[in-house]
Structure 1
Amino acid sequence: MGPAATILLQQKLLAAVPARDDSDHVPLIIDMNPQVPSRIAHLIEGHGPDPAPVLATMARRLQAAGACALAMPCNTAHHYAPAITGAVTIPFLDMI
């Protein structure tokens, strides 16, 4: 998924925290994977590999790394939210 969207989300999170020191920021675990199969090709154009298994694997990896919630700055990928929420026990912040 687009690295720029991930960076923008991180910038917005950093700006939202009234931190006076580095240690005041919220800890983040980021899995920025631009190799996720195309959501557009699979969902809209009807061809290409299903990105759901990759998204589920990423969610499990983030949970195993200690994440207590998941967020994903990709509108189209939110179509696959059931695969993500089915793969983990932590909340997924669905932006749709």
Structure 2
Amino acid sequence: MMSPLLGVLGGMGPAATADFLAKLAAHTPATRDQDHIASIVYSDPATPDRSDAILADGEDPLPAMFRGIAFLDEAGCDLLAIPCNTAHHWYDDLAAATTVPVVHIVDAVVAQIEREAPDVTTIGLMATDGTVRSGIYQKVLSQSGRTAIDLTDLGPDNPVMAGIRAVKAGSLDGAHAILTNAIRELVARGAQGIVYGCTDVSAVLDIPPEGVEINAWDAADALAIACVKRLRG
């Protein structure tokens, strides 16, 4: 009997996809290679920028993502994961394009917060400007009685976006320093907990964040945990 097959719609960006796969392996109860979850990754880094599409009428990324969904569907996957927060702006369209269940990354994060820190009500959101504008986190957090704060009011000086750009450029040490400072700014604004709501942020920051005492949740980590639970029970 074949093991359940996880399909990963990746490449947004490549480092984030690799980080998600590492976290999937880390959260899978296994004592040998054969115990791990079988997966197929469709990675297309040429997928148009999701934030540009949301914020500035950039090229629509949906056709590229639809191609990936179709590939994974035809491959016989039993569950799909998309380790890109901003791509979930199009979650309804993507989920409707397949009969295979698609794990929602924001639902996974908020479920983890509920389990681990139900009294935390103000969340500092570290996400792309596109994710913040889309409102996907604000909607689900509000439904659970929580509010989100962010740094988008800083415009071009937003350290979260500067850190994300550094990750995409391969400057991981520089990104770590920039994003750690962003956490400090969110804490100063009243955040009781931090969500790494961009998988590029997840690729460089630890849980808990180095040098800052605060609860933090990693969207890529939460997605990996949710996938393991769905496929392994």
Which of 35, 38, 63 is the matching residue for 1:27? 38
1:70 aligns with 2:118: no
Superposed CA RMSD: 1.0
1:42 aligns with 2:56: no
- TM-score, length-normalised on structure 2? 0.40
SS at match of 1:15: helix
Partner Cα distance (1:92, 1:18) in 2 = 22
Partner Cα distance (2:66, 2:76) in 1 = 16
- The size of the alignment, in residue pairs, is 95
Unpaired runs of at least 5, structure 1? none
Q: Equivalent residue for 1:15? A: 26
**Structure 1 residue ranges (4+ consecutive) displaced by more than 2 angstroms after TM superposition:** none
SS at match of 2:38: coil
Partner Cα distance (1:92, 1:59) in 2 = 10
Which of 40, 56, 66 is the matching residue for 1:56? 66
1:81 aligns with 2:91: yes
1:6 aligns with 2:22: no
Offset from partner CA, 1:76-96 (integer Å, 9 cap, x none): 110011221121001110112
Percent identity over the alignment is 39
Higher strand share: 2
- TM-score, length-normalised on structure 1? 0.92
Offset from partner CA, 1:41-81 (integer Å, 9 cap, x none): 11122x22111121112111101112111111111110011
Kept in 2: contact 1:71–1:93 (CA 8 A): yes
Partner Cα distance (1:19, 1:42) in 2 = 40
The structure that has the greater radius of gyration is: 2
Partner Cα distance (1:59, 1:70) in 2 = 8
Kept in 2: contact 1:53–1:83 (CA 8 A): no
Offset from partner CA, 1:1-53 (integer Å, 9 cap, x none): 101111111011100112111111100111111110111111122x2211112
Partner Cα distance (1:76, 1:17) in 2 = 25
SS at match of 1:29: strand
Q: Equivalent residue for 2:185? A: none
1:93 aligns with 2:90: no
Unpaired runs of at least 5, structure 2? 1-11, 107-233
